[in-house]
Amino acid sequence: MEEPVVLITGGAGYIGSHVAAVLLSAGYRTVLLDNYCNSSPEPVSRLDALAPGKLRTVVGDVRNETLFDDLFQSFQPTAVIHLAGLKSIADSIAQPEAYYDVNIGGARALVRSMVRHGVGKLVFSSSASVYGETNSVPISENASLNPAHPYGVSKLECERIFEDIAIKNPWFQAISLRYFNPVGAHPSRLIGEQVNSEATTLFSMLAKVGLRADEMLPIYGGDWPTPDGTAIRDYVHVMDLADAHLTALKLINGPEVGLTHEAINIGTGRGISVLEAVASFTQSCGREIPYRIMPRRSGDIAVSYADVSLAARVLGWRAKRSLSEMCEDHWLWGLAQSKSPV
């Protein structure tokens, strides 16, 4: 029996490349669509080395409905994992029209083509940013949806589009995975998050500071109402996140799906403070991470971590990898990509 084909939009990106690696290891033939605006062709060549002959790549824009028609006609995928889109919160505030155009426009183009071609299995890359500010933790899927920026708004609108299509078409099933904070890298060190001068997430900044002696980690707020005064977040290993996509894909491909659209949190269910992350990363890289306490950023909150009980109940999934594993894999990936002396 020939292996099923899955289309991954945004498949060359940080999360997309890890999802592709997991699917390839599970025996799926995989088609990646990417225009490299948030990535590069390099992860694709490395993925091909993991599973020769099982990967196809198409360069194109997620808003191009004709391109989707061609992809469904040529490759006949049975399911889609949709990760393509713009992803910077700060950029979304500065350029909201671009985020609505690319993220929402891409979802509309994709789903129209899926319906035309009878492809009714979708796993969507959503975000915990759909919740916005909440004083209730852990955050469950029943929490109020009040995103605080255009990026979060665009993710929530995509979820609603897929839900409406699933309600209208009983053969269409979708699962939206609301990520918390992905970190880490593939154990092969072949793929991971790009380390660059414009790093903005905590772990990308930790890697940058660990690699460069003249860098210092900014910590935004040391007076939060938390045990050590720094903000608390839910960090999940990107390989656990990739496994969640595979599990969701298997569920909607099963004989008795019993759902139209389901939104599911993907995290560890445990909050980690910034200083906890710094201490663990220091052990992984074997050097001190200098930091400076800065004023709080507008829009930040003290504590955010996931209620992951629905993921356990519906998907049978739980995160397996520890904070030390996240730090070690993130560091070793950054170290492997760096030409700096160590």
Residue 248 has pLDDT above 50, yes or no: yes
pLDDT score recorded for residue 200: 77
Residue 311 lies in a domain: no
Residue 195 lies in a domain: no
Residues 136 and 223 in one domain: no
Task: Provide the mean pLDDT of the chain.
Answer: 93
CATH number reported for the structural domain that contains residue 77 in this entry: 3.40.50.720
- For 253, the 3-state DSSP assignment is coil
CA pair distance 8, 85, nearest whole angstrom: 12
Residues 153 and 222 in one domain: no
User: Which of 100-114, 197-211, 230-244, 291-305 shows the lowest per-residue confidence on average (mean pLDDT)?
Assistant: 197-211
Could you tell me the pLDDT band of residue 168, with boundaries at 50, 70 and 90? very high
Residues 64 and 26 in one domain: yes
pLDDT score recorded for residue 199: 67
CA pair distance 114, 72, nearest whole angstrom: 8
Kindly report the number of other CB atoms within 10 A of residue 241's CB atom. Answer: 25
Residue 197 has pLDDT above 80, yes or no: no
Residue 154 lies in a domain: yes
pLDDT score recorded for residue 303: 92
Residues 117 and 207 in one domain: no
Tokens of 195: 């380390």
Tokens of 121: 């299995």
Average pLDDT for residues 248-268, to the nearest whole number? 89
CA pair distance 129, 150, nearest whole angstrom: 10
What predicted TM-score, i.e. pTM, was given to this entire model? 0.94
Residues 88 and 106 in one domain: yes
> Which are the contacts of 52, defined by CB distance < 8 A and separation ≥ 6?
none
Average pLDDT for residues 134-162, to the nearest whole number? 94
Residues 64 and 149 in one domain: yes
Task: Residue 56: give the domain boundaries.
Answer: 5-184+235-266
Total domains in the fold of the chain: 2
Residue 96 has pLDDT above 70, yes or no: yes
pLDDT score recorded for residue 262: 96
Could you tell me the pLDDT band of residue 1, with boundaries at 50, 70 and 90? low
According to the per-residue pLDDT averaged within each range, which of 91-95, 114-118, 200-204 is highest?
114-118
Q: Cβ(33)–Cβ(19) under 8 Å? A: no
pLDDT score recorded for residue 309: 98
User: Which of 89-93, 219-223, 247-251, 263-267 shows the lowest per-residue confidence on average (mean pLDDT)?
Assistant: 89-93
- For 192, the 3-state DSSP assignment is strand
Residues 157 and 225 in one domain: no
Catalytic residues: 151
CA pair distance 268, 282, nearest whole angstrom: 21
Residue 190 lies in a domain: no
Whether the ω angle into residue 138 lies within 30 degrees of 0, i.e. cis, is yes
pLDDT score recorded for residue 198: 65
Tens digits of residue pLDDT in 19-60: 999 999 999 999 999 999 888 888 888 888 877 888 999 999
CATH number reported for the structural domain that contains residue 289 in this entry: 3.90.25.10
Average pLDDT for residues 125-140, to the nearest whole number? 91
Residue 342 lies in a domain: no
Residues 96 and 214 in one domain: no
Q: Give percent above pLDDT 70 in the chain.
A: 96
pLDDT score recorded for residue 196: 63
Residue 208 has pLDDT above 60, yes or no: yes
CA pair distance 242, 249, nearest whole angstrom: 11
The more confident residue out of 193 and 115 is 115
Residue 231 has pLDDT above 80, yes or no: yes
Residue 11 lies in a domain: yes
Rounded to the nearest 5°, which phi and psi values hold at 95? -135, 65
